[in-house]
Amino acid sequence: MFVCSNVHQCVFDNSYNRHDNQEPTEVFAYQHSTPGNPLFREVEEIMSWQMKFPDGTIANCATNYFTHESRHYRVMSETGWMDLENAYAYNGQQLKTSRAQSELKLQETVVIKEKNQFATEMDHFSDCIINDKIPFTPGEEGLQDHRLMEAIYQSAKEGRPVKLTDNPDPKSLHGPEPELD
């Protein structure tokens, strides 16, 4: 299950909606806001949705504006899981993984080097401008994110699954991966 603090954050975290170089083919969403709560006149309190992928994978996603902030991200599969604490913070991420090999369950804590995200991003964009390169996350990817968010909200409003047609080739949504030091 993918859990994020809001739909925009969840969709912009492309590790799942670009699952194995695939775009989701369908979304089905539900939303709820406590009646009479003035905090949710303009934004939903809770949004929950599923995304189906061409290979049969189903991502279960949920957001909530009325729970204590956790910044937690978890991916589960038939052979293991990945757990990222402080996933949406600027620093302090803690990544843990677990995978099954026969009867063994291997768990690992991955050390994530602290970086100034803004400086790294500015360096990447500057390099793209100077060397006429496509950014790793170009505008086409952001446009696809917005299409996906619109489909999620449409599904919740209409109470039915929404097919995603005319998806671009996921490989066209990224430029070359930036070099990491």
Q: Which residues, listed in sequence order, are joined to residue 81 by a DSSP beta bridge?
A: 76, 98
Q: Is residue 44 part of a domain?
A: yes
Q: Is residue 181 part of a domain?
A: no
Q: Is residue 135 part of a domain?
A: yes
For residue 71, what is the domain's CATH number? 3.30.360.10
Q: Is residue 119 part of a domain?
A: yes
Single-letter residue type at 52: K
What is the token pair recorded at 122? 């500015």
Low-confidence residues in the chain, pLDDT < 50: 1-6, 8-9, 11-12, 15, 17
- Over the stretch 17-29, which tens digit does the pLDDT of each residue have? 455 678 899 999 9
Residue 24: domain span:
2-173
Q: Is residue 156 part of a domain?
A: yes
Query: How far apart are alpha carbons 12 and 15 in whole angstroms?
Result: 9
Q: Is residue 113 part of a domain?
A: yes
Q: Is residue 166 part of a domain?
A: yes
> By CB neighbour count within 10 A (0-12 exposed, 13-18 middle, 19+ buried), where does 87 fall?
buried
- β pairing state of 104-110 and 26-32: unpaired
Number of domains in the chain: 1
pTM of the full structure: 0.78
- CA 111 to chain CA centroid, Å, is 21
- Over the stretch 49-78, which tens digit does the pLDDT of each residue have? 999 999 888 888 888 888 887 778 888 888
Q: Is residue 178 part of a domain?
A: no
Query: Is 5 within 8 Å of 64 (Cβ atoms)?
Result: yes
Query: How far apart are alpha carbons 126 and 60 in whole angstroms?
Result: 36
Q: What is the layout of strands, in order, in the sheet containing 73-77?
A: 73-77, 80-85, 94-101, 104-110
Q: What is the pLDDT of residue 140?
A: 85
Q: What is the pLDDT of residue 180?
A: 66
Nearest Cα neighbor of 86 from 77, 98, 78, 96 is 96
